[in-house]
Structure 1
Amino acid sequence: MNYLVVLIPVALLLGLAGLAAFLWSLRSGQYEDLDGAAERVLLDDDDKPS
Structure 2
Amino acid sequence: MTIGVDDVDRQVAVLKQRDLDVEAVQDTPGGFRIAAISDPAGNIVTLAQDLGLNV
TM-score range, shorter chain: under 0.3
Bigger RCO (CA 8 Å, 6+ sep): 2
With structure 1 as the length reference, what TM-score do the two structures score?
A: 0.24
In proportion to residue count, which structure has more strand? 2
Alignment TM-score, normalising by the size of structure 2 = 0.22
Higher helix share: 1
Rg bigger for which structure?
Answer: 1
